[in-house]
């Protein structure tokens, strides 16, 4: 497959920065020694040179083969790998060796597993906290096909931020994410606050897939209505010629316009720009986490009791 990122003539605002080659190599060597996957590499993120140069990476657990096939995503679809029980500890060691104070963990979709991989998220957070007690953890989770027990197990460990990306507007959602569902994703975000009102939530949209302005605004309202706290907005870039084409390039001024609109609608923090990705400079959210939840006080027994039925689309 051809990597379009190196072939296209991008505007100045889409050029990537590369600040510290030695730190970049250090990050790569930690990832390869510990045999870890990152969405930075598997997703061909345009910021990987910058982030790795700052010793930052977003870990992708549960293998590098996804059970879904979203048309914008570079992560390879295919037969999923066997669960590796040593992965949580290896992620925790990488966090320690990189000296991270804020880390984002995501995964491929694992629709082959009964819990969608939720227990591995839980184990990974446990191990990270064991080795890195001061590190804040953001989890970027899949929709678990609406499995509420999976979602609840994740909310109960109280990640500092819990993210689920809506990615695009309802009108083109099924075209670019054929195995996902817009309303299911919205419901999942809404359910998080029902389990724990204090849980900080986040979502992300890519612009340039073919959405209209009125549809963007409706999506932002839908997210706010479900209690979403934080938002990122970034330019979609076609990873290869096989992927969904870019329908529109937004300028930095247009991203700033949407940042202000989103703040006006009620988001507590918005990152918006051509190269912004869900986890780009995610550590800036630490500012909003000063009223950290006291994990020792709010144990699982204080959480509301829900039935364990699947989330349903209404």
In the bound complex, what is the minimum distance in angstroms from residue 58's beta carbon to ligand SF4? 4
Binding residues for ligand SF4, rule CB under 6 A, total 12
All residues at 6 or more sequence positions from 291 whose CB lies less than 8 Å from its CB, including other chains: none
In the bound complex, what is the minimum distance in angstroms from residue 38's beta carbon to ligand SF4? 6
Our finding on whether 220 is near ligand SF4 (CB under 6 A) is: no
Burial class (CB in 10 A: 0-12, 13-18, 19+), 218: middle
3-state secondary structure of 107: strand
Q: Is the Cα torsion angle 36, 41, 47, 49 positive or negative in sign?
A: positive
In the bound complex, what is the minimum distance in angstroms from residue 196's beta carbon to ligand SF4? 25
All residues at 6 or more sequence positions from 216 whose CB lies less than 8 Å from its CB, including other chains: 169, 205, 207, 258
In the bound complex, what is the minimum distance in angstroms from residue 32's beta carbon to ligand SF4? 16
In the bound complex, what is the minimum distance in angstroms from residue 5's beta carbon to ligand SF4? 12
Candidates 24, 30, 36, 48: give the one binding ligand SF4 (CB under 6 A): 48
Measuring CA to CA, which residue among 99, 184, 198 is closest to residue 155? 198
In the bound complex, what is the minimum distance in angstroms from residue 248's beta carbon to ligand SF4? 21
**Closer to ligand SF4 by Cβ: residue 59 or 148:** 59
Candidates 36, 39, 135, 155: give the one binding ligand SF4 (CB under 6 A): 39
The CA–CA distances, whole Å, from 239 to 12, 196, 278 equal 18, 37, 16
Instruction: Compute the C-alpha angle 171/162/194, nearest 5°.
Output: 80
In the bound complex, what is the minimum distance in angstroms from residue 282's beta carbon to ligand SF4? 7
Cβ–Cβ < 8 Å for 208, 236: yes
**Closer to ligand SF4 by Cβ: residue 48 or 259:** 48
Measuring CA to CA, which residue among 212, 206, 221 is closest to residue 171? 212
Dist CA 138 CA 159 (whole Å): 6
Judged by CB under 6 A, the chain residues 273 through 292 that form the site for ligand SF4 are 277, 279-280
Judged by CB under 6 A, the chain residues 52 through 91 that form the site for ligand SF4 are 56-58
Phi and psi of 281, rounded to 5°? 50, 40
Candidates 30, 31, 36, 40: give the one binding ligand SF4 (CB under 6 A): 40
* Residue listed under structure tokens 């920065």: 17
In the bound complex, what is the minimum distance in angstroms from residue 270's beta carbon to ligand SF4? 16
**Closer to ligand SF4 by Cβ: residue 195 or 207:** 207
**Closer to ligand SF4 by Cβ: residue 58 or 201:** 58
- 269-273 β-sheet, strand order: 58-61, 102-107, 136-140, 161-163, 201-207, 230-235, 269-273
Candidates 31, 45, 62, 311: give the one binding ligand SF4 (CB under 6 A): 45
* Residue listed under structure tokens 């975000």: 189
**Contact characters 234-253, ligand SF4, x per CB under 6 A:** --------------------
Candidates 51, 125, 136, 246: give the one binding ligand SF4 (CB under 6 A): 51
Applying CB under 6 A, the residues found at the interface with ligand SF4 are: 39-40, 45, 47-48, 51, 56-58, 277, 279-280
């Amino acid at each position: 497959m051809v990597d379009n990122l190196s072939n296209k003539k991008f505007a100045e605002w889409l050029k990537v920065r590369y600040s510290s080659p030695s730190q970049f190599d250090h990050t790569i060597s930690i990832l390869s020694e510990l045999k870890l996957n990152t969405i930075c590499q598997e997703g061909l993120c345009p910021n990987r040179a910058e982030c790795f140069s700052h010793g930052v990476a977003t870990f992708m657990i549960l293998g590098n083969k996804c059970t879904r096939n979203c048309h914008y995503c570079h992560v390879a679809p295919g037969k999923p790998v066997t669960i590796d029980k040593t992965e949580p500890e290896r992620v925790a060691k990488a966090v320690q060796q990189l000296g991270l104070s804020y880390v984002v963990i995501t995964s491929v979709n694992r629709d082959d597993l009964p819990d969608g991989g939720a227990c591995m998220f839980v184990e990974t957070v446990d191990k990270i906290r064991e080795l890195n007690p001061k590190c804040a953890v953001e989890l970027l989770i899949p929709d678990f096909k609406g499995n509420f027990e999976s979602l609840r197990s994740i909310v109960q460990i109280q990640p500092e931020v819990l993210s689920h990306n809506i990615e695009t507007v309802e009108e083109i959602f099924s075209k670019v994410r054929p195995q996902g569902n817009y309303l299911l994703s919205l419901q999942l975000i809404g359910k998080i606050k029902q389990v724990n009102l204090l849980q900080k939530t986040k979502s992300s949209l890519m612009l340039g897939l073919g959405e209209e302005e009125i549809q963007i605004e409706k999506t932002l309202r839908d997210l706010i209505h479900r209690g979403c706290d934080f938002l990122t907005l970034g330019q979609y870039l076609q990873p290869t010629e096989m992927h969904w084409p870019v329908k529109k390039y937004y300028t930095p001024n247009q991203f700033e316009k949407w940042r202000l609109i989103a703040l006006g609608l009620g988001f507590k923090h918005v990152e918006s720009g051509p190269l912004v990705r869900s986890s780009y400079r995610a550590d800036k959210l630490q500012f909003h986490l000063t009223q950290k939840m006291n994990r020792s006080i709010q144990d699982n027994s204080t959480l509301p009791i829900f039935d364990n039925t699947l989330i349903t689309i209404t």
